[in-house]
């Protein structure tokens, strides 16, 4: 789809884009830089990532991962596109590793179960060279549908045993509570994960979309390595208190939907209308009114893309990376050229003056359909 004369797929045609961009030293990876990326871990430039390529790394708590990971949900779920063939996605995951990606995100509910199977088969030959994140917490019926939440200790253990089998591994590097179960105290969940860590079945603990209060409660029982919440250049609710709390407690932040469900590419425009069965229908900022209104921010991102010789996707990811040194986005894709485009965000940098200018421009755009800031005080 073409929109305003710019197509995200054109980035491959301009192979010189990386040369127009900025060497990693200018990205803020050097000590003493004023760029927010300056605290990125230094193992990255020495080739710490173990794929054929090398990418910058960051820390989620004590867990070191590539600064951009690969989200594997869309490969097998019907959320945003039809499920893809297993052999194709296994190949894509391995190609991601060859490009330098060492951080892969999945969950038992994706598919359901099949995303973990794909990830497990793809990464089995290189298991000790990668980091796998997976999640528990949903009740899944015989048809593979999520029908509720259950984070009781017995359910957690059952879920983890199933995940280990599907992932063909003996441990999950980053084990997340997918969503808070209102019927189970978060301290009990953290305690169960703490036991699993002692047993070696998990290595680090993560949470997804909890309240600020529950982050503190869980962290007091078992240190939380990562928080996985929606965060993007459009959905910025977690800039209210959440990022500050992560910084205070030493928790990494993993944005899901970092490119706004594809909106930062050319997937949508203000005229698109979704089929009634589409998951997008339930997303407030994807309503016809919201899309028409919110395209103003995409237009701004396009302007910065032109200015930087990049694509809107790359600008969006690079902007996220520049916000805090502990932010690690996990854009999902089912296509190799989109994967390469995503990783091209490492070649885009902003000076502090540019970040300030960009932010002032963003703040002038009145977006609709996004969460109110007080929502961070509640579990999603």
pLDDT in tens, 199-245: 999 999 999 999 999 999 999 999 999 999 999 999 999 999 999 99
* pLDDT beyond 90 at 77: no
Give tens-digit pLDDT for 279-329.
777 889 988 889 889 999 999 999 999 999 999 999 999 999 999 999 999
**pLDDT value for 49:** 37
**Contact (CB, 8 A) for 59 and 41:** yes
- Is residue 129's pLDDT more than 70? yes
Sole residue written with tokens 């016809």: 288
pLDDT at residue 50 in the model: 40
Report the alpha-carbon distance of residue 83 to residue 119 in Å, rounded: 14
Out of 4-18, 153-167, 204-218, 343-357, least confident range: 4-18
- Model pLDDT, residue 212: 98
Q: What is the structure's pLDDT at 80?
A: 67
* Residue 39's pLDDT band (cuts 50, 70, 90): very low
Confidence of residue 278 (pLDDT cuts 50, 70, 90): confident
145-170: average pLDDT? 97
The backbone region for 61, taken as left when phi is positive above 0, alpha when psi lies in -120 to 50, beta otherwise, is: left
Predicted local confidence at residue 40, as pLDDT: 41
* Confidence at residue 47, expressed as pLDDT on a 0 to 100 scale: 30
Share of the chain above pLDDT 90, in %: 75
**How confident is the model at residue 12, as a pLDDT?**
37
- Range of 17-31, 64-78, 201-215 with top mean pLDDT: 201-215
In angstroms, the CA 339 to CA 331 distance is 8
pLDDT tens digit string along 89-106? 999 999 999 999 999 999
pLDDT at 25: 32
CB 40 within 8 A of CB 46: no
Residue 281: what pLDDT? 78
- What distances in angstroms separate CA 190 from CA 21, 150, 300, one per listed residue? 43, 14, 42
Strands 63-66 and 57-60: antiparallel
- As a whole-number percent, the residues of the chain with pLDDT over 70 amount to 83
- Cβ atoms of residues 233 and 294 within 8 Å: no
Share the mean pLDDT of the chain. 86
Structure tokens at 58: 């960051």
What confidence category does residue 191 fall into, taking pLDDT thresholds of 50, 70 and 90? Answer: very high
Q: Which two tokens stand for residue 85?
A: 């063939």
Q: What are phi and psi of 6, to 5 degrees?
A: -130, 130
- Determine the pLDDT at residue 48: 33
- Mean pLDDT over 339-350 rounds to 97
Report the C-alpha gap between 306 and 42 in whole angstroms: 30
Active site residue ranges = 110
Residue 129 and residue 134: Cα distance in Å, rounded?
17
To the nearest 10°, report the CA torsion of 68, 74, 75, 76: 140
Compute the average pLDDT of residues 50-66: 87
Q: What is the pLDDT of residue 268?
A: 65
Under the banding of pLDDT at 50, 70 and 90, the label for residue 270 is low
The 10 Å Cβ neighbour count of residue 9 is 14
């Amino acid at each position: 789809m073409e929109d305003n004369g710019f197509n995200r797929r054109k980035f491959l045609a301009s192979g010189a884009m990386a040369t127009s961009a900025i060497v990693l030293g200018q990205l803020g990876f050097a000590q003493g830089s004023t760029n927010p990326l300056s605290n990125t871990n230094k193992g990255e430039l020495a080739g710490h990532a173990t794929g054929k390529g090398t990418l910058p790394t960051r820390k989620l708590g004590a867990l070191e991962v590539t600064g951009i990971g690969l989200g594997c949900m869309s490969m097998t779920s019907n959320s945003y596109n039809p499920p893809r063939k297993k052999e194709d996605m296994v190949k894509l995951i391995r190609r991601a590793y060859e490009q330098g990606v060492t951080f892969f995100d999945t969950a038992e509910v994706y598919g359901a179960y099949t995303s973990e199977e794909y990830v497990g088969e793809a990464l089995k030959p290189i298991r000790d060279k990668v980091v796998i994140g997976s999640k528990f917490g949903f009740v899944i019926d015989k048809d593979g549908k999520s029908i509720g939440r259950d984070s009781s200790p017995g359910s957690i253990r059952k879920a983890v045993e199933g995940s280990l089998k599907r992932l063909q591994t003996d441990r999950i590097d980053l084990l997340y509570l997918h969503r808070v179960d209102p019927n189970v105290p978060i301290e009990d969940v953290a305690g169960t994960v703490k036991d699993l860590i002692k047993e070696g079945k998990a290595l680090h603990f993560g949470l997804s979309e909890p309240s600020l209060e529950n982050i503190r409660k869980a962290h007091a029982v078992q240190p939380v390595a990562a928080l996985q919440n929606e965060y993007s250049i459009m959905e910025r609710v977690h800039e209210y208190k959440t990022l500050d709390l992560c910084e205070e407690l030493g928790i990494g932040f993993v944005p899901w939907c970092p490119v706004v469900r594809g909106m930062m590419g050319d997937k949508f425009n203000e005229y698109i209308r979704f089929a009634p069965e589409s998951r997008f229908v339930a997303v407030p900022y994807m309503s016809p009114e919201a899309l028409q209104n919110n395209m103003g921010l995409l237009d701004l991102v396009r302007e910065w893309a032109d200015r930087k010789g990049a694509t809107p996707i790359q600008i969006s990811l690079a902007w996220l990376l520049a916000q805090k040194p502990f932010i690690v986005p996990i854009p999902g894709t089912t296509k190799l050229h989109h994967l390469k485009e995503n990783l091209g965000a490492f070649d885009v940098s902003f000076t502090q003056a540019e970040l300030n200018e960009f932010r002032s421009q963003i703040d002038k755009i009145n977006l609709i359909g996004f969460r109110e800031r007080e929502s961070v005080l509640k579990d999603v």
